[in-house]
Each structure stands twice: as C-alpha cells, then as structure tokens.
Amino acid sequence: MNDCILEGRNVQVLYEGRLALAVAEIGVHRGETLAVIGPNGAGKSTLLRILGLLERPASGQILLDSQLVAKDADLLALRRRFASVFQDPLLIEGTVERNVGLGLQLRRMAQSAASERIRLWMQRFGIEGLASRQASSLSGGEAQRVSLARAFAIEPDILLLDEPFAALDPLTREMLLRDLHRILRESGVTCVFVTHDRDEAQRLGDRVAVVMDGRLQQVGTPEEVFGRPISESVARFVGVDNLLAGQVTADHEGLLAVDVGSFSVRASGRIPVGSPVIVCLRPEDLVLQSGVETDARDGALNHLPGRVTGLFLTGSQYRVEVDCGHPLVALVTKHCVQALWLAPLSEVLVDFKPSAAHLIVKQES
C-alpha cells in the first residue's frame, strides 16, 4: 500500500466492551474515491471516523502518507488535512457565502483570496445565485450543496463523506450525485465515501469496500465487487438476486458444468470437479426470449425454459420472476416486456453467457 495516503492496520473498535469493528488492513489511494458500503449498523461510519482521526480505535494503527499517527500526535493539526460532510449539512446562521467561506475564515486566509475561492466553489456547485440567501431558508439539496462547497473550498487532502444524499429526494439526489461525480474527477481530491446505496457506490467509487458485521469483507473495483462477490452474504448485499447451490460436475477446458438440481449451468472458471459452489447470476445479466425450443439457439449460451410467475415495475425497469424449476429474477426494459408480451404464465427462455455465472466455492462448515 505504498501509494496510499491513508491507511488503517489491525484496527479494532470496542463499544461497551463489544467488538464493533475489526479491520486487518485498509488503504485509500491518493486521488481515488473509496466507496464504503454495507447495511445499516455494519460499522461503515465508525470506520470513517477512525480513518478521519475523529475517533481513536481501541487498538491498531492509522497512517497518513505512510507515517504512523502516534498516540500523542496533535490530532487537531492533522484533522486540518481533512474535510467532512455528513447527512445533516450542519450550516451556521448567516448567508450561503458566509457558510461556504467558514473553513477559510478559520484558517485565517486573506480576504481577497478567500473571496475568490468562495466564488469558485459556489459556481462549481451551482449555488452562486444563492450567495446572499440565509442558510435557514435553503432546501435540503441546496443546503447540502453549500456544505459540499464549504468542504471543497478548503482544498483538503482527504474528503470524508458520510451518507451525504440519504435525506434527499430522488431527483435532487440524482442531480447532486451527477455534479459531485464530475467535481471529484476534476479536482482529483482523495475521498472516502460512506453509503448504503449500491448505485451511489458504483457511480462514485473507483474502488468499493464492503463492510458487514463490523468486518471488511471485500475491496475491489466496482466491477469486481458487484460482478464477482467473494461470499454469499456479499453477493446478496450487492444485488445478486439469483443464488443457486450446486456442484461442479465437469470441466471442459475452463467451461464448467454445474448441476444445480433442476438444471445444469455452464459457467466459466477453474474450479475442481466435485466442488460445491454457489452460482451467482445478476438479474440484469439474464436475457429473456420467447418460446421454449432451444435447438436453433446459440450453443455458447445457457438456455433455461421457464414460466413467468411475477412482473413488477421497479424504477425504469421491470423485475420479472421466472420459474425454471428454480425461481430466477431478471431485470428487463419496458420494450422487452412489450415485445415479448410478457405476463404471468408466459413461457420464456432465460438466456445468459457462461461468463455471467460467477461461482463461489462453498466453505466447509
């Protein structure tokens, strides 16, 4: 982790004698956004406070620029390298302009330089027209933009974001998420972003860290974490709705046959024959076709005949539940539903590539 600006090693946190967090090693690379995800109460915010020097661990080490933060270190001075934004914007009484410049005022920046910096960040967050507005009159989205502009204005080495969109309505959240993504890329600031929302993590994170039950379960790119989860519990959390218990029965030069009871799945991988596995299929990787005949179909695909048992609109897509001898869930477009005349009891084929079937080897209990 030599390129890490911020690291935690063998970190443990105790609350009332109970182990709340135990992380062997985590690092944040300079200039990246590390998205920390997990269910409520998993320990995400605790990890953020530890990394941000807002709380001391019961044991373990925190390093900044590869230098150990000593127990007698001046934490107040080190915290000046960080800026934090929480779910609650925490604005002071006064105008938007005053709030954006608060951190610069506390750092005693010259007025002319501070005014220029304030104007820059109000403009980048689209709130320059609100400069003279009282903070108390702002909407939730406007207030959060002010909070973010204030954090960026001090040009921190590390930005800490703890569920900053959780209280926003969907449209406001979408607009702010889009703008923040752009600004993070343009500024190159290092960011640790805590969220329970998978979409936010995928869109903002250069890497994603999954925390569950107070432990770091997996760290990787969004493609790795969401496409190749390391365990069944991680798979469920990152949205793998189709989890099939099976056993590898054959290996044809890396194309595996997996018996899941009701049918056999072809999957890519290098797992010994006889191994018990969990077949993970993301619903968006399943393609629905009409009919049940498979003879003329592409032999490189999996083709599972089934019958629609449920059809539900979720956002801009439809969630289609299909009984193939085992219940499967697919996410499809409105066009697909209309083109296939999908309805309960419709007969369909569920197609997917062998590469879409991620296998997790089951551990002996």
pLDDT tens digits, 176-209: 999 999 999 999 999 999 999 999 999 999 999 9
Q: Is there a single domain that holds both residue 201 and residue 247?
A: no
User: 300-326 pLDDT, tens per residue?
Assistant: 689 999 999 999 999 889 999 999 999
Question: 40 and 126, same structural domain?
Answer: yes
Is residue 193 domain-shared with residue 341, that is, in the same domain?
no
According to the model, what pLDDT value does residue 254 have? 86
Q: What is the mean pLDDT of residues 328-348?
A: 95
Clarify whether residues 144 and 279 are in a common domain. Answer: no
Which residues partner with 322 through β-bridges? Answer: 308, 328
Amino acid at residue number 365: S
Mean pLDDT of the chain: 94
Query: Rounded to an integer, what distance in angstroms lies between the CA atom of residue 200 and that of residue 223?
Result: 14
Mark whether 40 and 186 lie in a shared domain: yes
Listing DSSP states for 56-111 in one string gives --SEEEEEETTEE--TTS-HHHHHTTEEEE-SS--PPSSBHHHHHTHHHHHTT--H
The Cβ of residue 223 has, within 10 Å, a number of other Cβ atoms equal to: 10
pTM: 0.91
Q: Are 307 and 347 in contact (CB under 8 A)?
A: yes
3-state secondary structure (DSSP) of residue 49: helix
Domain count of the chain?
Answer: 2
Q: Which of 194-208, 257-271, 294-308, 323-337 has the lowest mean pLDDT?
A: 294-308
pLDDT in tens, 105-149: 999 999 999 999 999 999 999 999 999 999 999 999 999 999 999
Return the pLDDT at 288.
Answer: 95
Q: For the domain that residue 58 is a member of, what is the CATH number?
A: 3.40.50.300
Query: 221 lies in which domain range?
Result: 4-236
Q: Are residues 182 and 271 in the same domain?
A: no
Residues 108, 195 within the same domain: yes
Which of 199, 215, 236 is the last residue in one of the domains? 236
Instruction: Tell me how far CA of residue 305 lies from CA of 21, 234, 322, in angstroms.
Output: 45, 28, 9
pLDDT-derived band at 355 (thresholds 50, 70, 90) equals: very high
Look at residue 219 and tell me if it is in a domain: yes
